[in-house]
């Protein structure tokens, strides 16, 4: 890890959460590829793919996951979590399991936002 990475704030995600987050990003990538490709959608797709690749590489190496995300990647991550949660709500019937999945995604979003706002 370089000195710049060492100075970045950490968002505490467990290894299991990192695996789940990768699955969410992979599913979100599939949804971005469906439908009309707009410049905005293409831009998010690039960032989501980049985050997913780096996350996959670190998980495969069984090392501590530490991703340095730039502003556009953070934006793409938050959008992926928000949009994927909305898709779950639209596509699946109202159940406790669905609500738990949406709450988990919302909680992850909030952790990232709190960190960005300095509310660790």
Does residue 5 sit within a domain?
no
Does residue 26 sit within a domain?
yes
Listed residue (33, 30, 51) closest to 42, CA to CA: 33
Position 2 scores a pLDDT of 44
**Encoded tokens for 90:** 């639209």
Position 82 scores a pLDDT of 96
Q: Which domain holds residue 28?
A: 11-116
Q: Model confidence over 33-67: pLDDT tens digits?
A: 888 889 999 999 999 999 999 889 888 887 777 77
Total structural domains within the chain: 1
Q: What is the mean pLDDT of the chain?
A: 86
Q: Are 98 and 106 in contact (CB under 8 A)?
A: no
Query: Helix, strand, or coil here: 96?
Result: helix
Positions of the chain with pLDDT under 70: 1-12, 119-120
Residue 47: CB partners within 8 Å, gap ≥ 6?
A: 72, 73, 75, 76, 77
Does residue 22 sit within a domain?
yes
Position 10 scores a pLDDT of 60
Residue 66 CA, distance from chain mean position: 13
Position 3 scores a pLDDT of 44
Helix H or strand E segment including 91: helix 71-91
Does residue 6 sit within a domain?
no
């Amino acid at each position: 890890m370089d000195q710049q990475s060492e100075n970045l704030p950490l968002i505490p995600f467990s290894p299991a959460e990192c695996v789940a987050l990768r699955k969410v990003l992979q599913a979100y990538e599939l949804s971005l590829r469906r439908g009309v490709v707009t410049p905005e959608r293409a831009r998010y797709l690039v960032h989501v793919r980049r985050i997913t690749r780096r996350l996959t590489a670190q998980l495969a190496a069984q090392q501590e996951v530490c991703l340095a995300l730039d502003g556009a990647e953070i934006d793409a991550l938050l959008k992926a979590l928000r949009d994927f949660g909305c898709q779950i709500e639209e596509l699946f019937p109202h159940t406790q399991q669905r609500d738990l999945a949406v709450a988990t995604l919302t909680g992850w979003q909030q952790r990232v936002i709190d960190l960005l706002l300095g509310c660790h």
